[in-house]
Amino acid sequence: MKIALIAHDRKKDDLIQFVTAYQPILAKHTLYATGTTGQRVIDGTGLPVIRFQSGPLGGDQQIGAMIAKNEMDMVIFFRDPLTAQPHEPDVTALIRLCDVYGIPLATNMGTAEVLLKGLQEGFIDWRLLGERRG
Ligand SMILES: O=C(CO)COP(=O)(O)O
């Protein structure tokens, strides 16, 4: 599966903690991330991550483009609901595309844990059916 990891600045420590806790599961999948988040994950866990631009520079849109092409299977996006983001329209667009295409999306740690446990149990294997990979 292809999994996108994204965290706003004040949520990055939480994401590293989360990725560390679920490293055995995440290591079996292909990880993508926005720029700064991806570097933090690489430095903090050693997991390989394909990095896009930083979020404010278009990284959310690059992940959105993968979703639109049916090339992303899950998005874990630790948003900061208490800080205004200069690229808020991009954040909204990414979340919207997850809903357009029915892509599992977690925006907080509680939901992310459920998603990864579900992933491990095979609940998201439907993504592998009828693959239309570009
Ligand atoms: O801003 C972000 C998501 O909207 C995350 O971007 P960075 O991972 O580059 O900090």
Domains of the chain, each with CATH number or no CATH: 2-128 (3.40.50.1380)
Lateral strand order in the sheet of 50-51: 50-51, 30-33, 2-7, 74-78, 105-106
What ipTM score was computed for the predicted complex, to two decimals? 0.98
Query: What confidence tens digit (pLDDT) does each residue in 67-91 have?
Result: 999 999 999 999 999 999 999 999 9
pTM: 0.96
Q: How many CA atoms lie within 13 A of 32 on its CB side?
A: 21
Residues making up the binding site: 8, 12, 34-37, 54-55, 87
In ligand 1, the atom with minimum distance to the C-alpha of 7 is: 5
Active-site residue list: 60
Query: What confidence tens digit (pLDDT) does each residue in 22-71 have?
Result: 999 999 999 999 999 999 999 999 999 999 999 999 999 999 999 999 99
Q: Span 5-19, mean pLDDT?
A: 98
